[in-house]
Amino acid sequence: MKFDSLTEEHLDALREVSNIGVAHAATALSQLIGRSISLQVPKVLMTEITKVPEAFGGAEKIVVGIYLQMLGDARGNILIVLPRESALKLLSRLLPREKSEGALLTELEISALKEVGNILASAYLNALGTLMHKTLIPSVPVLSFDMAGAVIDYVLIELGEVGDLALVVETEFFGEDEKINGQFFLLPDPDSLKIILNAIGVSL
Amino acid sequence: MSRILSVGISEFRVAAAPSILMTYGLGSCVGIALYDPVALTGSLAHTLLPAPVRFQDDGGRSAKFTCWAVDLMVEELGKCGCAIDRLVAKLAGGATMFEPRHRTTHGGIGERNVTAAREALERCGIPLVAEDTGGDYGRSLEFNTATGIIMVRALQRPIKQL
């Protein structure tokens, strides 16, 4: 199927299931850092591939990108993007960080952020899977700390093979007293999108 | 005042001096620059994929695919009064952004993009005079059509000049 055949009804349904998914992810993250995390109602956007970097706040913004594949009954890509400052704040909650001069991340910090990605993605997919009566599991996370444009083109490549549109499920989460924000992107494969829509009862 | 023109993913643009062509955040995508040093005119493409893999994109050729970008750029440069035999090429990008664990699914896409670009240049008989490709980091390019020089910027690295 093609993304451009999706109607407003389909997008609403996707928004609803994503809402439940990200709520679980936020709960998991709150427990991990011992602090409440609130989140925005997810936006479900259909966008041209060439415009996706703008959704991340510009191609040159320095971000931590945690990438996982969605595996199981439906396939796709998950990308969690944290602005550099938010990633460092998260880390300060998770690890005793010495005031390092360099802007690069240590092995331990990379590992901790991957674990955050893993927890967010697992919670999201678990909720989505339960709702759909399907099995969805995340792959092992990989991480990149670089310009947003460079981090996401990797994900766009797969989408670019099947069309010019990307379906982006985007949400932002915020910490209670300090600003920790990030974005969660689910980019389902076009074939898997059909499976997801059928499972949530809005078939094409 | 020089004009700054930004080139998005899957796009290419042609500009003459004193314009500057920019593209931001190249990861495994590849940036292809063609330049006519006499006409002081250049073109910059930001391509996503080496070549179409399935039956798709009935909309025709686009700079999304590396294999077509060079042809499109040459065509457009020709219309702007450039001589094809004067063109020189520079490449940048084609990195592997994430660890190779997921490589099996994408088959080293950065490398394949660079290879596709080299092949397309060879097919068109355009000499490749400089490149900054591979690695595991993103790049932004600033192509000055007055000089043909490309500044390559990357995070935590000194600026490179191509």
The ranges assigned to domains in chain B are: 3-161
The reported pLDDT for the residue numbered B40 is 93
Place of tokens 């995508």: B29
pLDDT of residue B58: 47
Tell me what the pLDDT averaged over chain A comes to: 80
The reply to whether residue B26 touches residue A150, judged by beta carbons under 8 angstroms, is: yes
3-class DSSP state of A73 = coil
> What is A8-200's CATH number, 3.40.1550.10, 3.20.20.140, 3.40.50.970, 3.10.20.30?
3.40.1550.10
pLDDT of A45 reads 75
Q: What per-residue confidence (pLDDT) applies to B144?
A: 95
Per the CB < 8 Å rule, is A67 touching B29? no
- Which of B13, B47, B97 is the best substitution to test chain A (most A C-beta atoms within 10 A)? B97
pLDDT confidence band for A132 (50 / 70 / 90): confident
Residues of chain B contacting A, Cβ within 8 Å: 8-11, 24-29, 48-49, 52-54, 56-57, 64, 95, 97-99, 101-102, 105-106, 109, 136-140, 155-156
Q: Are strands A183-188 and A165-175 parallel, antiparallel or unpaired?
A: antiparallel
Inter-chain CB pairs, A–B, below 8 Å: 111
Neighboring chain B residues of A155 at a CB cutoff of 8 Å: none
CB contact under 8 A, B10 and A160: yes
Q: Is the pLDDT of residue A168 over 80?
A: no
Its pTM surpasses 0.90: no
Range B146-159 average pLDDT: 92
**Residue B22, helix vs strand vs coil:** strand
Spell out which residues of chain A touch residue B104, defining contact as CB-CB under 8 Å: none
Instruction: Give the residue numbers of B annotated as catalytic, written as ranges.
Output: 29
Which of A103, A63, A107 lies closest to A86 in space, CA to CA? A63
Nearest by CB to residue A153, choosing from B28, B54, B101, is B28
* pLDDT tens figures, A30-42: 888 787 877 777 7
At the top level of CATH, the class of B3-161 is alpha beta
The pLDDT of residue B145: 93
**pLDDT at residue B105 tops 90:** no
For residue A97, give the 3-state DSSP assignment. coil
Distance from CA of A200 to the nearest CA of B (A): 28
Contacts of A104 in chain B (CB under 8 A): 156
Angstrom distance (rounded) from CA A197 to CA A132: 9
Residue A183 main-chain phi, psi, to 5 deg: -125, 145
- How far apart, in Å, are the Cα atoms of A137 and each of A39, A66, A70, B99? 22, 15, 6, 20
Average pLDDT of the segment spanning A65-84: 88
Q: Which residues pair with B110 in a beta bridge?
A: none
